[in-house]
Structure 1
Amino acid sequence: MSQDKITGMDLMRSLPGVFKRLPAIAKGYYYYSVKDASKPLALGTLVEKNAEKHRDRPAVLFEDRSITWGEFNAWSNRIAAYFLAQGLSKGDSIAVFLENRPEILAVVTGAAKIGVACAMLNSSQRGKVLEHSINLIKPKMIVVGEELVPAFDDIKAGVQFDHPTPHLFLADTNTLNAFGDAPTGYANMAQQVSTFNSNNPELSDPPRTGDTAIYLFTSGTTGLPKAAPGSHTKFVKAYGGFGMMALSMTPDDVFYCTLPLYHGTGLVVCWSAALAGGSAFALRRKFSASAFWDDVRRYDATAFGYIGELCRYLLNHPPSDQDRNHRLTKMLGNGLRPSIWNEFKDRFGIETVSELYASSEGNIGFSNFFNLDNTVGLSTAPYKLVKFHDGTRDPIRNEKGTLEEAEKGQPGLLIGENTKKWTFEGYTQKEATEKSLIRDAFKKGDSWFNTGDVLKSIGCGHLQFVDRMGDTFRWKGENVSTNEVENIIDGSGMVEEAIVYGVEIPKTNGKAGMVTLVPDKSSFDINKLLDYMRANLPAYAVPVFVRVTDAIEKTGTFKYRKVDIQKAGYALNRSDEAIYAWLPKTERYTLLTPELVADIDGGQFSF
């Protein structure tokens, strides 16, 4: 099969594998196609179901700790009872600021059981961005892990909570019965939770499928992060669609996840897949390429969650006779590039690649249901690929004012129709929600969600990811908002003008951040600027390259020629400009030379 074409024969060859999964597919379709938002089918009920069926089997594995389904359910019940005692009720929200560890799953489940939504703060956020994210939700309380107390304390004064004792502390002890000492101003949550009843909550108005379960933060297309509400529907659909229909997970499976649980891929997609099988969910705090396969063997993992960059890091490690010494045959995630797809499968013995396409806030998703190569799969949601203005996320309207579909096989901007069944849940900010919708696209009164992503059809209803467009790019598995970075740089007081964009580095996935700036000559210091950005941005959003120039070219309507600047990348093409790079494992920007550019282009640095 060509990597850019799927035929009917390819589908036929996949049918034996599909037939083997028919019972799981039939069962999964029930959950995947759920329509009734008023059903009492929610995240908490999925956990309780596993506690009944698989009470003594492992639910969560972390370092040297193993928690059974019965223990996990009882733990989350005590958390639910604790939150009720704190006066929280259905419709309220809390913020969760924890790194990957079992507590994050227990807190989300406990809150979900009583209808309280968890705002999943990005553990990499710092300073103004973190403060902004919390204030978007206006949560009643915040749960802060010991590992992140300094980051929260830095912005605590700028955040308001509607609760007399809003700051909850969770010690980083990796044991259920060691509570640690809470800092001044924090309640010791684990210690207080331990005194509560472990029975399933009995509520007169339990959570419903359509109720908000979580808030996920996305860079969106412009500006600071936006908060996208995620209903229990997202968990239920992922439970049926990925856990049952795509992967056919069972209690004998172990799902290894190194992806951050503040992301939809880790929390909703990967965890729901494990929930669907009554499978163990093995966590690692942060991804490590050198420890990956040792962990897989340690936990006896059979499946793992990925983003494309993760797979490339694993491939970059020298081949070993241990590459197939494991039981892992299934993978679930997004961003696996066609250029490494088959190489990765062949080297590590992977049988099933359940590549998907989705976004935290979007109303459309694709899944590689037939286990074909080089595709995000197909979708039952209504969508179109439309013509767009190059270098932007804006669709082209014809002389009639309507959109036009891209030619067959050509890249097009993906838009998903906003219908009752496939609802765009939007953001907490109405203005941001409206900005992501395209109205009157093909007929009067219709409404479509603009994904901002470019894909192309490769046959038989299957699509292939091409690129992320407009004011957002993807680096280190994260969406980076150019406007967010520009606003932070503007606040430094060292720069007169700045324009941020993504550039490609050979042998890497995504696009690295780059800024072209005009310095304030009285205050500019390249490394003081780096320190400022590192204090106010997640590491992945700090520009890898900086071009320092005397002026940035604009159009006649005072718009930056962003496409031209982006095409120039980090090439040393002008003698009157200086270009710097934040090289891996360094603390300063380094002035680029032709020799360094050649080394970067040749893959000598592991960005």
Structure 2
Amino acid sequence: MLYTWLSTLAGGALVLYVSLKIFFPYFWEDLLYCLRRKRLKAIIKKRASNGILSITDLFMQRVEKAPHKPFIIYEGKVYTYQDVDKRSNRVAQVFLHHGALKKGDTVALMMGNEPDFIHVWFGLAKLGCVVSFLNFNVHSRSLLHCINKCAAKALVIAEDCLGSIEKDFIFHLKDNNVTIWLMSTSSPFQHVDTILDKLDKVPDDPVPSHLRSVTNQRNTAMYIFTSGSTGFPKAAIITHLRALSASLAFMQCGAVSRDIMYLTLPLYHISASLLGIGGCIELGATCVLKKKFSASQFWNDCRKYNVTVFLYIGELCRYLCNQPSKEGDRVHQVRLALGNGIRPVIWKEFLMRFGPIKIFEFYGSTEGNSFFLNYTNKIGAVGRAGMFSKFLHSFELLKYDVWKQELMKDEHGWCKKAPIGEPGLLVVQVTQETPFSGYAGNKEISEKKLLRNVFVKGDVYFDTGDLLVMDQNGFLYFSDRVGDTFRWKGENVATIEVSEIIGMMDFIQEVNVYGVSVKNYEGRIGMAAIVLKPDQPFDGERLYKHVVDFLPSYAQPRFVRIMDVMQITATFKHQKMHLVNEGFNPEIISEPLYFLHEPACSYIPLTREIYKKVVSGEIRL
């Protein structure tokens, strides 16, 4: 009887297993991912009950458990968890001794990839300050805008970043009671304080713990700037809960404490700072920090430091694939990579060349309230809506008219859902579990990111501004960006900001900036359609100097199109679609075209010969 019962049970289990494999091939992966996400959320709640409410609290716990474990390896030098703790204590003591800051103040941080970025970040956090990460590529008006928007009381700047700001800018900050601290032993400016010369004069004792204490995980931990289609960079509010949640990304991919992470992305990005550094703290792992990404040094570094995981953007993988092939391309210990923006063709080439590395492509944004992970390693997908995804977040793909740039609605005024296989605007419902914290100092722009009364009266969804496609198996694929923003060299470029900068030139009447595709390149590169003022000639040398002085390299338009009149919509918006489609081909565009040419320090006429060299890759962009 028992034998019959066990045989029946075993047979039923086998039938169930086979049926799931046939009809629901991703059932077990979906279930395991859902359970893992639920478990990680439970861990955050349990930790909160034990007083772990912030990244700083988690870091302090790691220091206590493994003080001598290597945390940061930078240019061959090893910094243990205890080393980073003590030096960040000294940074905090410097500010405490000088009475420069109080709990709750915002401090802007402008530094490149180096251990002191982390020391200053944690030192300020230990004082209870909100840290605002600044992109060191921005300067002039954009930098001033960033500091004003986050209401920073102080600016900490690396010595090698000082050259990007003008003396008048420093006086302007002083006039607005913003103190400036330079990571150096001396300062070329009278009104700029220094930090490095003071570190040895203060103890490495912890500052009073009540300063860093967090009363609510939904309070602001930091600001991370993101570019959008609404003008200058916006300071996305990152709460303590959001920071802790982001640090779990690598753990969701199966990373463990013995892993060694290779980090080459800029720390002012949420990916590097929270997924990367935060992820290492979460795991209790080690991070090999690189000053700047180098395709030629990448695999040598991975072999030298026994790297097992790394963080990427799509361009990084393409640069690696473009390197000359070597016999030792597969000789490494890298087993997984986490990132976004890798094209399917590069994905395949990367695996074929460098071995069976598990690539976890994700979808998310700095200010967004959602995170999608392609946990099945399906080539090309940015995420998956499995059969259990409704227990994790509520999202929809809405029908969107890309020409009119508006949502398509039914006769009752409700939004329509995009059919399977067709692009739709990704929106994520705003709930207690998936809140939208908005942007600092700009309630109006924060509100513009929300869609209300989408399906029923009173519902609220976050508008990602991205078009995605879902296939029949529930995999999500990135399609395009809505609006004016485009992505180049891993950076978001806001066309309105670039237009405003170019429009400052006295011979230009009107500017329309957009991104155009270039063969074998990820993203879109900047191009500007320009209408000149009457009787004013185009001055390529002056425009070149202007964009180099005022814009970071990734935002500088490489192509210029001179037009007699700018085409606009019925609502007086610039028409971009036809310009984007025509690109920069002189064979189909009759108007004058120009090309940003560094050797000439000017915009020079874009000839057919130059065009062919750009498309063939002979001229690198």
Q: CA deviation at 1:268?
A: 1.4
Q: Deviations over 1:141-197 (max 9, x none)?
A: 11111001122334223335775x8111113xxxxxxx4666532222123233334
Call closer, same or farther: CA 1:404–1:334 in 2, change over 3 Å: same
Call closer, same or farther: CA 1:436–1:283 in 2, change over 3 Å: same
Residues 471-550 of structure 1 mapped to structure 2, 5 A cutoff:
471-520=484-533, 521-522=535-536, 524-550=538-564
Call closer, same or farther: CA 1:417–1:14 in 2, change over 3 Å: closer
- SS of the residue corresponding to residue 338 of structure 2 reads strand
Rg: which structure is higher? 2
- Structure 2 equivalent of residue 385 of structure 1: 397
1:53 counterpart (65, 74, 93) = 65
Call closer, same or farther: CA 1:130–1:9 in 2, change over 3 Å: same
Residues 355-366 of structure 1 mapped to structure 2, 5 A cutoff:
355-366=361-372
The answer on 1:71 being equivalent to 2:83 is: yes
2:225 counterpart (204, 217, 222) = 217
- SS of the residue corresponding to residue 184 of structure 1 reads coil
Call closer, same or farther: CA 1:350–1:261 in 2, change over 3 Å: farther
**What are the ranges of 5 or more consecutive residues in structure 2 without an aligned counterpart?**
1-20
Call closer, same or farther: CA 1:235–1:409 in 2, change over 3 Å: same
- Structure 2 equivalent of residue 176 of structure 1: none
Q: CA deviation at 1:274?
A: 1.4
- 2: distance between equivalents of 1:370 and 1:7? 17
The answer on 1:280 being equivalent to 2:294 is: no
- 2: distance between equivalents of 1:294 and 1:10? 39
- SS of the residue corresponding to residue 617 of structure 2 reads coil
Q: CA deviation at 1:222?
A: 1.5
Between the aligned residues of both structures, percent identity stands at 33
Answer whether contact 2:134 2:268 (CA < 8 A) is retained.
yes
2:460 counterpart (447, 470, 482) = 447
- Structure 1 equivalent of residue 619 of structure 2: 605
2:26 counterpart (11, 22, 47) = 11
Answer whether contact 1:454 1:469 (CA < 8 A) is retained.
yes
Q: Deviations over 1:286-321 (max 9, x none)?
A: 211112112222222111111101111111112111
Residues 54-453 of structure 1 mapped to structure 2, 5 A cutoff:
54-85=66-97, 86-154=99-167, 155-159=169-173, 166-171=179-184, 179=185, 183-204=189-210, 206-207=213-214, 208-240=216-248, 242-250=249-257, 252-378=258-384, 380-391=392-403, 394-428=406-440, 429-453=442-466
Q: CA deviation at 1:342?
A: 2.1
476-485 vs 580-589, which moves further: 580-589
Answer whether contact 2:246 2:274 (CA < 8 A) is retained.
yes
Call closer, same or farther: CA 1:561–1:33 in 2, change over 3 Å: farther
Answer whether contact 1:549 1:576 (CA < 8 A) is retained.
no
Structure 2 counterpart of 1:602, one-letter code:
S
Runs of 4+ in structure 1 deviating by more than 4 angstroms, as ranges, are: 6-10, 12-15, 21-27, 31-40, 160-163, 179-183, 573-576, 583-586
Structure 2 counterpart of 1:65, one-letter code:
K
- SS of the residue corresponding to residue 426 of structure 2 reads strand
- 1: distance between equivalents of 2:289 and 2:162? 21
- SS of the residue corresponding to residue 363 of structure 1 reads coil
TM-score, with structure 2 as normaliser? 0.88
572-581 vs 218-227, which moves further: 572-581
29-38 vs 419-428, which moves further: 29-38
Answer whether contact 2:126 2:209 (CA < 8 A) is retained.
no
Answer whether contact 1:249 1:274 (CA < 8 A) is retained.
no
Greater relative contact order (Cα < 8 A, sep 6+)? 1
Q: Deviations over 1:527-582 (max 9, x none)?
A: 21121011111110110111112222334554333211211110225675111122
Answer whether contact 2:503 2:509 (CA < 8 A) is retained.
yes
588-597 vs 442-451, which moves further: 588-597
Equivalenced residues, count: 589
- 2: distance between equivalents of 1:212 and 1:514? 37
- Structure 2 equivalent of residue 174 of structure 1: none
**What are the ranges of 5 or more consecutive residues in structure 1 without an aligned counterpart?**
1-5, 172-178
TM-score, with structure 1 as normaliser? 0.90
Structure 2 counterpart of 1:397, one-letter code:
K
Answer whether contact 2:508 2:531 (CA < 8 A) is retained.
yes
RMSD: 2.7
Q: Deviations over 1:572-593 (max 9, x none)?
A: 2567511112257763323222
Q: CA deviation at 1:383?
A: 1.0
- 1: distance between equivalents of 2:590 and 2:357? 53
Answer whether contact 1:218 1:227 (CA < 8 A) is retained.
yes
